[in-house]
Amino acid sequence: MSDSDMAAAAQQLMLLSDEDNSSSTSSSNGNNNKKQKIKAKMMKDERCLEQSQNEITSANIEEIFGKEEISRPTKKRRYRFLESIYKETKSMKVSYGSSRNIIN
């Protein structure tokens, strides 16, 4: 919604509220209901305009960047048995102190 549209809508609301404040208490309920309906319609129009602008903005963003897809790459979990790890592991020589031990 542009600034000029917002200013015009705010001015109309102020005029309507001034009329409500300055109207006498003896005025009929029909006039008050009519004013309330006008206010409600103006508020509804503002919300619709704001929503349509949000939709237009979203469409422009999608057009520029493409539609965002939510996807999570699935991690392929790999499990290995200890036996296969031991088969692939080469034996190493480990020395503790003066004696030499071979671990298989």
54-81 pLDDT, tens digit each: 888 888 888 888 776 666 777 777 787 8
The answer to whether residue 83 sits within a structural domain is no
User: In total, how many domains does the chain have?
Assistant: 1
pTM for this predicted structure: 0.30
Q: What is the average pLDDT score of the chain?
A: 75
The answer to whether residue 78 sits within a structural domain is no
Query: pLDDT-derived band of residue 46, with 50, 70 and 90 as boundaries?
Result: confident
- Residue 36 scores a pLDDT above 70: yes
Dump pLDDT digits (tens) for 15-27: 777 665 655 544 5
The answer to whether residue 76 sits within a structural domain is no
Quote the domain boundaries for residue 27.
3-65
- The Cα 104–Cα 101 span in angstroms is 10
Angle at 67 between CA 61 and CA 70, to 5 degrees: 125
The answer to whether residue 92 sits within a structural domain is no
